[in-house]
Chain A
Amino acid sequence: MINTKELEKRWYRYKTKGFLAILAILAILTTLIYGGYYILYKLDLNVDHIKESSRPKAVIAEKITEDINTSTTNNMDMEINRSGVMLAPSIPIVDLEREKLKDKKSTSTRVARTQKTRHQRVQSSKKIVEAKKSTYLTAKELSVVSGKTSIKRETKKIDLKGSHSNYMGIMKKKFNSNKNPREAVLISKAYYNAGNYKKSEEWALIANNLDKKLDESWLLFAKSKYQLGKRKEALKILVAYYRKSKSVKAKSLIEKMRTKRV
């Protein structure tokens, strides 16, 4: 008959070895998965960075010219985008902001126009100078050449604070009526600017729940988290979003958060 006691001992040894082997494999696998994930994540960001920097110069040049051509219109668009305001003009602050932007645009066109007239005047003064080669210019003529005749413009000041107290109420009312995620983003942004990060986070989340593709909602949510001292969580969210969307804004915000420059 078989000596089962000895055999049982050997069986227990065999089982223990098997268990240890499984544990070792699991440990190796876990290390590999975490290591791989970390390396991939790092590489992913680096590759994107390399891709951006190694784009051909010609393309960049083309882009620059394109940018120059569209700079005037883009500036405004960008301003609008940055504030996230693309909504109905019935909201006072939006109107004011638009006005501000319009003012900016009109100021720039006015400056351009002034420069143009000044140039024309210089041209005409040159003609005058040419006509009167042998004579000195009169004081009037000199003032025309140097452009002293231009009247000083009064700078228009827009008071944004005046309407702010009412802004939240109107916006929330508007949001309640149409449930537009952009309204929620606006509210979140207003709260963020006011330093109420908790509320900002809440509204960013509301906006995000309504529209997952809304870039601003992700960024505001992460920024609010960051300001609330949850840097790691904010980074995690942004990285997850960046992986999905490849958003440039998200990437730059990640970099900022990493270097603590937010």
Chain B
Amino acid sequence: MKKSKYSAVKNIFIDSVDKDNFVELESATFNYQVLKESLDKPLKMILLFGKPGTGKSMLLNTLYHNLKAKKEIHYFDAPILSEKEFLKNIYEAMASQKIPQNMRVNFDGLLKYCQKLKGQREVMFLLDECQLYSEALMEKIRLLSDTRVVKFVITLHKTENEDVIAKEHFKTRIWEVIELKNANPEDLEIYIQKKLIQKGFIEVSNMINKKDIKFIHTCTKGNFRETNKFLYTIFNIYEYYDMYRPEKINSTRLSKKIIEMAAIKIGYIHD
């Protein structure tokens, strides 16, 4: 069975938090630099917030991989909802030793342990999806960060409710706030093209013109996750045509019909 080149193209847009997929956009690079500089300052907590799909997890992941060799940094990509498990993970990361299953970490003990390390070590924890943590656990995170031995970078989704959390709950504790926003059409164009070029699909990148980008941006509102989903669907349809009805597609420009078909499939436009 013939294999289409579009199979590989569509896979580029599979949503994954992989540092290799990080696209250096102007805004992303700027946010990365701000975050990196904030980590060098004696700040207790740094908040990264933005709507889902704005690249928060990708930024944390990239930061972790770039700094893990130089700094004592730990990345919790999935939220640990149990307090017991959370404290255990913090202690294990700091002490570099495993705790037996039948034992638990006492919070006061952990606090004292941190205080003993004051001035000797600085451990950084990158916590993703913090909107899922309970208020009590967030309070413990704050107390730990007060020791100035543990530094937290937390990410929050910016929805209406979580916006309140970001403003009220952490108001006095957050020292640096970095807001991530959706991409504008220009950024989105660079994002798509860089993704394709990075994987060697220059001719596919040349197929996409400004009009297509404008349409994609209108549908996805500049959200990276949505854009990935949209492009995946577009090239998925391309794959079908390439394999079964190649006369229907043009390899010099992206078919408007296929873009619209993908938009219908995802639900951006309705038939």
Closest CB-CB distance, A15 to chain B, in whole Å? Answer: 8
Report the nearest A residue to B260, measured CB to CB.
A11
Chain B, range 196-251, C-beta contacts under 8 Å to A: 233, 236-237, 239-241
Residues in B neighbouring A7, C-beta threshold 8 A: 237, 261, 264-265
Are the C-beta atoms of A10 and B236 separated by less than 8 Å? Answer: no
Q: Is A88 an interface residue (CB 8 A)?
A: no
Main secondary structure of the interface of B (DSSP, over half): helix
Are A11 and B239 neighbours in the complex by a CB distance under 8 Å?
no
Majority SS at the chain A contact face: helix
Q: With a CB–CB cut-off of 8 A, which chain A residues contact B261?
A: 4, 7-8, 10-11
Q: Which residue of B lies closest to A7 (CB)?
A: B261
Is residue B132 contacting chain A, with contact meaning CB distance below 8 A?
no
Q: Are A4 and B240 in contact (CB under 8 A)?
A: yes
Whether A1 and B264, one on each chain, are in contact in the complex, defined by CB atoms closer than 8 angstroms, is: no
B85 shortest CB reach to chain A, Å = 41
Smallest beta-carbon distance A202→chain B, Å: 55
B14 sits at the interface (CB 8 A)? no
| Contact of B98 with A by CB under 8 A | no
Interface string of A212-236 (1 = CB under 8 A from B): 0000000000000000000000000
Interface residue? B270 (CB, 8 A): yes
In the bound assembly, the distance between CA atoms of A2 and B264 in angstroms comes to 12
Judged by a CB distance under 8 angstroms, whether B271 is at the interface is: yes
A48 CA to B265 CA, complexed, in Å? 59
Interchain nearest-CB distance for A3 vs B (Å): 9
Q: Are B271 and A1 touching (Cβ within 8 A)? A: no
Q: Which residues from B are CB-within-8-Å of A2?
A: 233, 236-237, 240, 265
Residues of B within 8 A of A173 (CB): none
The reply to whether A10 and B240 form a contact with Cβ atoms under 8 Å apart is: no
Whether A11 lies near B264 (C-beta < 8 A) is: yes
20 additional A-B residue pairs with CB within 8 Å, beyond A7-B264, A17-B271: A1-B236, A1-B239, A2-B233, A2-B236, A2-B240, A2-B265, A4-B240, A4-B241, A4-B261, A7-B237, A8-B261, A10-B271, A11-B257, A11-B260, A11-B264, A11-B271, A14-B260, A14-B264, A14-B269, A14-B271
Chain A positions within 8 Å of B, measured between CB atoms, are 1-2, 4, 7-8, 10-11, 13-14, 17
- Complex A-B: 11 CB contacts under 8 Å: A1-B239, A1-B240, A2-B237, A2-B265, A4-B240, A8-B261, A10-B261, A13-B271, A14-B269, A14-B270, A14-B271
